[in-house]
């Protein structure tokens, strides 16, 4: 496909997605694979996310993914089969600081599982890839002055003690699209160097806001453990 044949599309609009899919079919006659890598988000505490900001992220990351899957299925894969890969995120421990995208990506994980069952009889395999923290120049620039800080502070929270790069994600996607993955569907492959098993960069400050445990001998022993009384 030459550069002149690339098309832009607003994946949050079903009519725009339908037009894209039909134009691809008109030009190439088939759609064997779909990779849903469109998305976007911004860093913000949940309490500060506006309704417009929430909707924009969910519409892109969740609704856009659904529209692309649905239209490709209806227009081609229902009759001919195919393979779909959805890109999600490391949101298994929640996604503090980006609650909107965490919620949307978790929903896509479930959508992937649902469609894998619904569309199995059409010969459609659908899986997801959940990257850890992946560095690219464009991603860093997207977060403007915060970009270098975000990526530098993320590296220690990976068991690899380094960040991933897009080439390490694309190879996983190619595997899931390939005949080598012909018996894999409804799965989510974590490409994160074990980051999802490790600890989170979100720090919770010391506080006394949590309600106290029920009274009794266990609470007394707990208090003694952390605040032993002087024996003098």
| Region 77-105 average pLDDT | 96
Question: Is 70 part of any domain?
Answer: yes
Question: Is 232 part of any domain?
Answer: no
> What predicted TM-score, i.e. pTM, was given to this entire model?
0.90
**Domain range holding 49?**
9-226
Q: Quick one: pLDDT at residue 232?
A: 65
Inform me whether the pLDDT recorded for 200 exceeds 70.
yes
What is 106-130 written as a DSSP string? Answer: HHHHHHHHHHHHHTGGGTEEEEEEE
| Region 203-228 average pLDDT | 91
Inform me whether the pLDDT recorded for 5 exceeds 70.
no
What is the chain written as a DSSP string? Answer: --GGG-----TTSHHHHHHHHHHHHHHHS---EEEE---------GGG--HHHHHHHHIIIIIHHHHHHHHHIIIIIHHH-EEEEEE--S-BTB-TT-HHHHHHHHHHHHHHHHHHHHTGGGTEEEEEEEE-SB--HHHHHHTGGGHHHHHHHHGGGSTTSS-B-HHHHHHHHHHHHSGGGTT--S-EEEESTTGGGS--S------S-SPPPPSSHHHHHHHHHHSPPP--
Q: What does the pLDDT look like over 23-50, one tens digit per residue? A: 999 999 999 999 999 888 888 999 998 9
Q: What is the CB-side half-sphere exposure of residue 200 using CA atoms within 13 A?
A: 11
Neighbours of 150 (CB within 10 A): 16
Q: Quick one: pLDDT at residue 190?
A: 98
- Strand-strand pairing, 82-87 and 124-131: parallel
Neighbours of 199 (CB within 10 A): 9
Number of compact structural domains in the chain = 1
CATH number, domain at 108? 3.40.50.720
Q: What does the pLDDT look like over 151-199, one tens digit per residue? A: 888 899 999 999 999 999 999 999 999 999 999 999 999 999 999 999 8
Question: Is 74 part of any domain?
Answer: yes
Question: Is 3 part of any domain?
Answer: no
Inform me whether the pLDDT recorded for 80 exceeds 90.
yes
């Amino acid at each position: 496909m030459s550069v002149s044949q690339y098309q832009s599309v607003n994946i949050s609009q079903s009519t725009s997605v339908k037009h894209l899919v039909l134009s691809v079919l008109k030009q190439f006659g088939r759609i064997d694979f779909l990779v849903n890598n469109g998305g976007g988000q911004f860093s913000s505490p949940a309490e500060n996310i506006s309704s417009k900001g929430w909707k924009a992220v969910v519409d892109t990351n969740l609704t856009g993914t659904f529209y692309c899957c649905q239209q490709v299925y209806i227009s081609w894969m229902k009759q001919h089969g195919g393979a779909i890969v959805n890109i999600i995120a490391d949101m298994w421990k929640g996604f503090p600081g980006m609650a909107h995208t965490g919620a949307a990506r978790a929903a896509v994980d479930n959508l992937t599982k649902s469609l894998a069952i619904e569309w199995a009889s059409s010969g459609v395999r659908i899986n997801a890839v959940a990257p850890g923290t992946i560095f690219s120049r464009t991603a860093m620039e997207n977060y403007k002055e915060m970009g270098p800080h975000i990526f530098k502070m993320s590296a220690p929270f990976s068991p690899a003690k380094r960040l991933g790069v897009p080439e390490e994600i694309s190879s996983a996607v190619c595997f899931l699209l390939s005949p080598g993955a012909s018996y894999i569907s409804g799965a989510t492959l974590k490409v994160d160097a074990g980051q999802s098993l490790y600890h989170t960069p979100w720090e919770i400050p010391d506080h006394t806001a949590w309600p106290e445990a029920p009274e009794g001998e266990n609470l007394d022993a707990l208090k003694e453990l952390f605040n032993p009384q002087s024996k003098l």
